[in-house]
Structure 1
């Protein structure tokens, strides 16, 4: 029986991968590692190890110690910082007999750093919101002068990190300056043209340059968005399966601009501009988005496809590689309750409007 280690166990992004694999028929043993004991206690896995955060000096030693003890066949990570560090350690990880299914390290660097992704896309002629790296107050002034919309607003965000880290729409220079100071973000923030609130994600798995499967999901709402200044939390409230040829083409172009031979997981986040065109804002590289269990419950188990390729060189038999799920499936999420797979029609049939 194969053994898989999932990092970040107990956290929602990793637990939805774990739940997807538990549903599979091969019965692999899953071991969890993570940095927060309380999170680990929530994990569905039986065996759990606490390791330091990936940016801690002892992370490498502790990770390799777990691999020496457990001797897993495959390890998978679900956090950008940990993915970047594991990628740097890939030769040492593989020397223990543990497989990784991820692209080249340069690709991971270029995707984790949103400013690097932007520069590549801009050079390749992919439509992206004009963006400026904010290294000092003068850069911030230039950003307001050149990027402000009709209300003078720009979009600030940290170049590294998920969940809308550091995101702020503002037309107030002094507020923006204090905001960046708060995050100690000079040289680590960008300013960009403000796009619409509408966003979509194209989640895909590739193998040696060939697309295995891709599914599109648009976000209808953020959970707790009313509690942030940006309205963005990284926590999807309601997601919906959809398909759009333009979104697919933009996503593929965005991936191939950064990686000529994609290998692994690529989740392209896109936000629509005022003209209705999806602009890539980042590629979530080598990890599934948090709500991947949505697709599993709907009939497309992408973590299963991923681990079957990595462990057994087994590929799925799909009628359609791109958007195999029907449009209009909804995934509704809330705190301390199981998500619900449904449709708008089911909501209309159930909920009475007074």
Structure 2
């Protein structure tokens, strides 16, 4: 049995990741959380409360958890913890399966610049570091635009703006409320097309497997200015060569030797996938839920659950032979708070997952 540590275990992504891997009896799972209320959520063998990633004691406390529980493998779930751990993993003396630190630590603006230099189709992106940068913005990008944070997840600081005045008002509001500072924002062209996501696992430069989906609905989107709340309530698996190839090409541009998990966000423009973000060292939030459904309900082999495959390769260094793309059938995942989760094809398949 392997001892696995999952940080941020009480968040939605952590709970889903753990839900998938605990279908196996190979793992003793320890979770860490900074929020004591969230320690109730994950199905772990042991839970520990540690400081926030920004606390100067964070690494020392994490190291104590690793030593106290004889941890064999560390999976950092939230992006802020991933970045701290990627930067300091040599000091932690525990197995991980992560990209190189310099790849993990790039912000969204740096990512876009790398993608552009490598000829990847991306949403046009402009840096905004001061109010002066907005003076001639309408000559650089067409409105409406998408204002978003350079760092973070879940649609942080995002809003659709229809003019330079809108952009200025939005940034000033975020700054005045203490949610951000000038220099935390980028502006991207607003793309009206389909909202798509791609999750993948790589080993020493080779793509192991992947799947793509289209996001169709977000939770409580009517209550937010942006309509984006991070993770979808309705998504459907899609099998499209152009999506797979665009995402794979984007990962290879970001990292010449991809290793670990990579997630890609895309919006469509005139039928073409445009890359809006590549998250290195991260799966999307629902990866574990798809994996759980794949094993429990679709009766696929355990390696078709990407969290389980990720742990297997990370620990045992053996890469199975499996499809590079489209590992799941074209089905829907429908879920919502307090309503459970369902997989369906709207014809013959309708199963309650949670």
Q: TM-score, normalised by structure 1?
A: 0.91
Unpaired runs of 5+ residues, structure 1, are 349-354
Matched residue SS, 2:328 = coil
Contact 1:219/1:240, CA 8 A, preserved across alignment? yes
Rounded to whole Å, the distance in 1 between the matches of 2:185 and 2:136 is 14
1:1-354 matches, cutoff 5 A: 1-24=1-24, 26-94=25-93, 98-110=94-106, 113-148=107-142, 152-181=143-172, 182=174, 183-273=179-269, 275-292=270-287, 293-298=289-294, 299=300, 300-318=304-322, 320-327=323-330, 329-345=331-347
Contact 1:132/1:139, CA 8 A, preserved across alignment? no
Q: Specify the alignment match of 1:351 in structure 2.
A: none
Matched residue SS, 2:115 = helix
Contact 2:28/2:45, CA 8 A, preserved across alignment? no
Rounded to whole Å, the distance in 2 between the matches of 1:330 and 1:82 is 31
C-alpha distance after superposition, 1:85-105 (max 9, x if no partner): 0011110112xxx20100101
Q: TM-score, normalised by structure 2?
A: 0.91
Rounded to whole Å, the distance in 1 between the matches of 2:349 and 2:46 is 40
Per the alignment, do residues 158 and 99 of structure 1 end up closer, same or farther by CA in structure 2, a change over 3 Å counting? same
Quote the offset at 1:41 in angstroms: 1.7
Contact 1:34/1:50, CA 8 A, preserved across alignment? yes
Rounded to whole Å, the distance in 1 between the matches of 2:3 and 2:194 is 40
Rounded to whole Å, the distance in 2 between the matches of 1:142 and 1:306 is 47
Quote the offset at 1:138 in angstroms: 2.1
Quote the offset at 1:313 in angstroms: 2.2
Contact 1:144/1:154, CA 8 A, preserved across alignment? no
Per the alignment, do residues 143 and 79 of structure 1 end up closer, same or farther by CA in structure 2, a change over 3 Å counting? farther
Per the alignment, do residues 214 and 291 of structure 1 end up closer, same or farther by CA in structure 2, a change over 3 Å counting? same
Rounded to whole Å, the distance in 2 between the matches of 1:201 and 1:233 is 15
Matched residue SS, 1:234 = coil
Q: Count how many residue pairs are aligned between Structure 1 and Structure 2.
A: 336
Matched residue SS, 1:66 = helix
Q: Output the aligned Cα RMSD.
A: 1.6
Rounded to whole Å, the distance in 2 between the matches of 1:201 and 1:93 is 32
Rounded to whole Å, the distance in 1 between the matches of 2:349 and 2:6 is 35
Quote the offset at 1:140 in angstroms: 2.2
Quote the offset at 1:207 in angstroms: 0.5
Quote the offset at 1:317 in angstroms: 4.0
Contact 2:144/2:162, CA 8 A, preserved across alignment? yes
